[in-house]
Amino acid sequence: MNRSEFTEHVTKEGWSDADSESSLSSEIRLDFTKIPNIDVKWKNLLKRMGELHLKCYPTSLDMDEKKMVTALLLQPRERYALYLAHGQKMLIKFLLDSCS
C-alpha cells in the first residue's frame, strides 16, 4: 500500500490512533498487580495457559538455574538463549504465583 492508498484508507475507513493498543486506558490494561482482583475463571485460564507454556520448554526452571552457575562457560549464543528462556520462565512463574 503506497502513501496515497493509505491516506485514502484512513479517510474512508475512519481509522485513528484511538483504536490502537497504546491508547488503552490504564483501567483496561492487565498487569501483575491487577491479577489478584480478577474473576476466578480468568485466573484459572491464565494459570492453565502459563502451565501449558512452561511445558513447551525443553528444560525446567530448576535445570536452567543449575545451568546458570556455569553460564560463562557457554558460547555467547547459548548463554543468551539460556538467559532469554530463563527470563521467560520467570515471568510465567510470576504469573502462576499471581494467579494462586
Instruction: Give residue-wise pLDDT tens across range 22-63.
Output: 555 666 777 888 888 888 999 999 999 999 999 999 999 999
For residue 5, give Cα distances in angstroms to 12, 17, 89. 10, 18, 43
| CA gap 54, 67 in Å, rounded | 17
pTM of the model: 0.68
Averaged over 72-97, what is the pLDDT?
94
- Residue pair 65/86 in contact (Cβ under 8 Å)? The answer is yes
Cell of 14: 475512519
SS3 label, residue 33? coil
H helix intervals, the chain: 3-13, 40-56, 61-68, 76-99
pLDDT value, residue 18: 54
Assign domain 3-99 to its CATH superfamily: Rubisco LSMT, substrate-binding domain (3.90.1420.10)
